[in-house]
Amino acid sequence: MTSFGYTLMTEQCGPKELVRHAVRAEVVGFDFEVCSDHYSPWLVSQGHAPNAWLVLGAVAHATSRVELCSYVTCPTMRYHPAVVAQQAATAQILADGRFLLGLGTGENLNEHVVGQGWPGYERRLDMLCEATKIIRQLLDGGVVNHKGEYFQVDNGRLWDLPAEPVPIGISMTGEKSVQRLADFADFMIDVSPDKPIVDQWIHERRVQGLDTTGRAVAQLPICWDRDRDKAVERAHEQFRWFGGGWPTNAELPNPKAFDAATQFVRPEDVADQIPCGPDIDAVVEAVGAYRDAGFTDIALVQIGGDSQDSFFDEAAPALLAALRADAA
């Protein structure tokens, strides 16, 4: 059974609005909610970047049914892994067992702010592996002393541990990342309908004698609006960065750089990649590509902070019904 989620996109809304949207998403019938973790928006036009973990804590308290997931947190630069472990344990307690920890290698956009530069991809993979080991050890409840290549933990212990373990998912966007990270994750994360990556995730788990029934969680941007032209305009204004692909998006340092890098992207280019307008069938078709690739959980991003209420009021109930009917 495919689960359908809603994205709390911190880049396009302030903290109070995100919490209100989270409640509305639960009421309208979404199964889970994912929350981005940014220090900066992708584009100046998006205009927001509140602290994701404070938002998640408030959302955990304000909701009662939906699963919640950090999507994704980089536990290597802006946060020390020992701090991420504490945040995850606390979020799981507040959410009464509904929290999932999503991790990734991060983006220069968000991580350079602490003044440690921006490592190459191979080093970031190594850092993520070491960080994930530390997080797991702390969440297991032991006292952790660790002196590794990148991180040190001195007599670390989590004093408030949740009754329910925290599942850990990791973003895997290529063959190398799956090879390195498959045995560290309880579930996988990706933002493209990439069937070879999902198949490789299952293969790597099977070869290592690990559970192969873990979830595969994806994310799909849409721009619903009754007026298609307005939808395309809004998607272009706020989401034209999306087409750059992860290798590029991970490297650019600030919103102005993304503005410059996307200055020649046309509205029609964005509309070719993102379902825009009132056509629910177009969204169902786009989601189907992810389901056919093997993803078990698909979170939608409704583009535009000011468009969320109209999306909930006019589109979400019918869209969820259509998605579930198509997946049945």
CA-closest candidate to residue 272, choices 235, 316, 313, 226: 235
Q: Is the pTM of this model over 0.85?
A: yes
Burial of 211 (0-12, 13-18, 19+ CB in 10 A): exposed
> Catalytic annotation on 107?
yes
What is the 3-state composition of the chain as percent helix, strand, coil, each rounded to the nearest 5? 50, 15, 35
Cβ contacts of 108 within 8 Å, gap of 6 or more = 118, 250, 251, 252, 253
Phi and psi at 262, nearest 5°, equal -110, 15
- CATH number of the domain encompassing residue 247: 3.20.20.30
Burial of 230 (0-12, 13-18, 19+ CB in 10 A): middle
Domain count, the chain: 1
Domain that holds residue 250: 3-327
State the catalytic residue, choosing from 17, 21, 38, 204.
Answer: 38
> Catalytic annotation on 203?
no
* b (16+ CB within 10 A) / e for 107-122: bbbbbbeeeeebbeee
State the catalytic residue, choosing from 26, 107, 111, 233.
Answer: 107
**pLDDT tens per residue, the chain (328 residues)?**
899 999 999 999 999 999 999 999 999 999 999 999 999 999 999 999 999 999 999 999 999 999 999 999 999 999 999 999 999 999 999 999 999 999 999 999 999 999 999 999 999 999 999 999 999 999 999 999 999 999 999 999 999 999 999 999 999 988 889 999 998 999 999 999 999 999 999 999 999 888 888 899 999 999 999 999 999 999 999 999 998 787 889 999 999 999 999 999 999 999 999 999 999 999 999 999 999 999 999 999 999 999 999 999 999 999 999 999 999 9
Residue type present at position 9:
M
